[in-house]
Structure 1
Amino acid sequence: MKILVTGGAGFIGSEFVRNLLSEGYRGLESPGVTVLDKLTYAGNPRNLDPVSDVPGFELVQGDILDRPLVDDLMRGTDLVVHFAAESHVDRSIAGAADFVVTNVVGTQTLLDAAHQAGVGRFVHVSTDEVYGSIDSGSWSESQPLEPNSPYSASKAGSDLLARAYARTHGLDVVITRCSNNYGPYQFPEKVIPLFVTNLIDGKNVPLYGDGLNVRDWLHVEDHCRGIALAAAGGRGGEVYNIGGGTELTNRELTERLLAATGRDWSAVTPVTDRKGHDRRYSVSIAKISEELGYAPQVPFETGLADVVQWYRDRRDWWEPLKEKAGLA
């Protein structure tokens, strides 16, 4: 099986590639794995250092909008796992154009090239944010899409294009929608690595609004395990939610990070709430659990402690990134 992974040098994509090439995923055994990544600010080839010497691995720096390059990489490909996306909500609020171009037009470029090349399966990795906000209960995959940020709107658009290529062209597409990820190698603009790195450096952290927005936290290892299950055994044309089962308010998460880094509430600076800030996300994982046997395996307490220690140990990885991104 020849596998093409877009955005495979980013946080989630690199976790998938490292596991795919080291431990392996059942049903996805492959002698050849190609990563296509533009290597923008959030794409880092160092994320793939642990598997860079594995036979059959190739990293190609390029844009998913480059149709000739995409056509070339699609030839002979059996499986596409599509992670490449602009993903930071705050950046999308400041300027939506890059999100629409990359997430919508880029996904359409890949889908069309996959269709023309006769690719066996296309896994489109999406987000629970396409559903909007939910006051109680959990979203099933049949929930109408009601995105509230430019980022989530662009992802909803890409989801609908993926569905359209499945229905119109018969492309074997599977869509996954995950809750909030955390883990090693996460770019330090996202809340957990930003807070951890600031707190261990004696700096303050910003808390939006009243801090009562709720998110379901999913370790990136569990997320990638769910993606692999959907890639290997999911039904074509279907959507699968992937959740972690740990719902916390942002205030509760902040409390845990303060405790883990030995800081107190004097290190927290309240800031004006984000525009269009969704109050609560929660996905039902009944479908992927019943059909594919998925269950999160990393307890949040263990995963969070490991992540805090990882950032303590890997200043060499995150310090240059924060400095370059103006986050230091």
Structure 2
Amino acid sequence: MPNNRKVLVTGADGFIGSHLTEALVKAGYNVRSFVMYNSFNSWGWLDDCDKEIVKQIEIFTGDIRDPFGVKKAMSGCDTVLHLAALIAIPYSYHSPDTYVDTNIKGTLNVLQAARELGLSKIIHTSTSEVYGTAQFVPITEEHPLQGQSPYSATKIGADQIAMSFFRSFETPVGIIRPFNTYGPRQSARAIIPTVITQLAAGNQTIKLGSLSPTRDFNYVEDTVRGFLAALVSDKVIGEIINIGSNYEVSIGETAQLIAKIMGKELIIETESARLRPEGSEVERLWADNQKAKRLLNWEPKYGTLDGLNKGIEKTVEWFSNGENLAKYKMGIYNI
């Protein structure tokens, strides 16, 4: 239950992190938000949150790659929800060294500080991309790991560092492994926002990459509920837990579903820049979420085709607001 103990959210300025921060404040938690320092004094998506909620957050600006700043941010906190990471797969082809520094070294900084400060719980954020193309479905937490992009390789490394601290030092770490989260504030690089923004801009012919891969889409509200469940459960310690809908749908089918919801005719044109290298494309993702149900008493509210429809409707509604849409550079492919 919420109390006066302080919770630190790293990556609070991001898509999922901003939604999680809002939910923590609404649930009565004392929240400190770690956001990426920049000279514009931007707090990322927290700038778009309800101002009354933001007033209740302690903002810490820094860089997850800096161990001194990370330890300072964590001082006085009881728990850390670690979401800070570079996540764009195309950009990881471009600048893999930055992903190693941010995703692996950044996670090490959090773990080392947690060990030195004696924090009671660290929830580390993984990704379904660590599984690579499914070798069996639905994908359980015992599925082999396969780095098919520099991004996924660094997330595998971060996960392994986290579990090594649990095994070596009994650091109280648990890992949440969300599948493909979508919703308001997501980058237009991701498939659902890229379809919505292109259609909202009046384009009937839209540009996409491969249409055949399947994904297990998680509405952001469900992902956030997974973090909140992990926060209050001791059963997460030493465990890796999938957060997914247990529903598989192809990219092409998803695009058609979005067009139907938006009342648009749709022509899809494949753009080579949006295609991953053949061996890097994750062809199939489908989550087994039984462990989350068993250990966290969590299950998706937006699972199944009906749930996906509802989640996309909410996402379309947000992007259809002109002020929100104006925050996106729709004329370019943002890697």
Q: Give the drift of 1:66.
A: 2.1
Rounded to whole Å, the distance in 1 between the matches of 2:54 and 2:110 is: 27
TM-score, normalised to structure 2, is 0.89
List alignment gaps of at least 5 residues for structure 2. none
Rounded to whole Å, the distance in 1 between the matches of 2:215 and 2:299 is: 18
Distance 1:171 1:61, change over 3 A: same
Counterpart of 1:4, as a letter, is L
| Native 8 Å contact 1:205 1:269 kept in 2 | yes
Rounded to whole Å, the distance in 1 between the matches of 2:333 and 2:208 is: 19
Counterpart of 1:274, as a letter, is R
| Native 8 Å contact 2:319 2:325 kept in 1 | yes
User: How do 1:31-110 and structure 2 match up within 5 A?
Assistant: 32-38=30-36, 43-55=44-56, 57-110=57-110
| Native 8 Å contact 2:247 2:287 kept in 1 | no
Q: Give the drift of 1:101.
A: 1.0
Q: Give the drift of 1:318.
A: 3.7
Give the equivalent residue in structure 2 for 1:309: 317
Secondary structure of the corresponding residue to residue 184 of structure 2: coil
Give the equivalent residue in structure 1 for 2:296: 292
Secondary structure of the corresponding residue to residue 212 of structure 2: coil
Superposed CA deviations along residues 289-309 of structure 1, whole A, max 9, x for unmatched, are 012211101311111111111
| Native 8 Å contact 1:230 1:240 kept in 2 | no
Give the equivalent residue in structure 1 for 2:25: 21
RMSD: 2.0
Distance 1:48 1:318, change over 3 A: same
Q: Give the drift of 1:326.
A: 6.7
Secondary structure of the corresponding residue to residue 139 of structure 2: coil
| Native 8 Å contact 1:18 1:51 kept in 2 | no
Counterpart of 1:302, as a letter, is K
Rounded to whole Å, the distance in 1 between the matches of 2:50 and 2:332 is: 22
Counterpart of 1:264, as a letter, is E
**Does 122-131 or 272-281 show the bigger shift?**
272-281
Secondary structure of the corresponding residue to residue 80 of structure 2: strand
Runs of 4+ that moved beyond 6 A:
323-326
Give the equivalent residue in structure 1 for 2:282: 278
User: How do 1:1-328 and structure 2 match up within 5 A?
Assistant: 1-22=5-26, 24=27, 29-30=28-29, 32-38=30-36, 43-55=44-56, 57-203=57-203, 204-209=205-210, 211-233=211-233, 234-266=235-267, 268-272=268-272, 273-275=275-277, 276-298=280-302, 299-313=307-321, 315-322=322-329, 327=334
| Native 8 Å contact 1:47 1:185 kept in 2 | no
Distance 1:174 1:94, change over 3 A: same
Counterpart of 2:182, as a letter, is Y
Rounded to whole Å, the distance in 2 between the matches of 1:14 and 1:208 is: 28
Distance 1:325 1:81, change over 3 A: farther
Q: Give the drift of 1:54.
A: 4.2
Rounded to whole Å, the distance in 2 between the matches of 1:324 and 1:51 is: 34
Q: Give the drift of 1:42.
A: 9.9
TM-score, normalised to structure 1, is 0.91
Q: Give the drift of 1:8.
A: 0.6
Rounded to whole Å, the distance in 2 between the matches of 1:51 and 1:17 is: 13
List alignment gaps of at least 5 residues for structure 1. none
Count of residues paired in the alignment: 317
Counterpart of 2:309, as a letter, is E
| Native 8 Å contact 1:80 1:123 kept in 2 | yes
Counterpart of 1:46, as a letter, is D
Rounded to whole Å, the distance in 1 between the matches of 2:43 and 2:16 is: 11
Identity score, percent: 30
Secondary structure of the corresponding residue to residue 322 of structure 1: coil
| Native 8 Å contact 2:229 2:296 kept in 1 | yes
Rounded to whole Å, the distance in 2 between the matches of 1:262 and 1:42 is: 35
Secondary structure of the corresponding residue to residue 46 of structure 1: helix
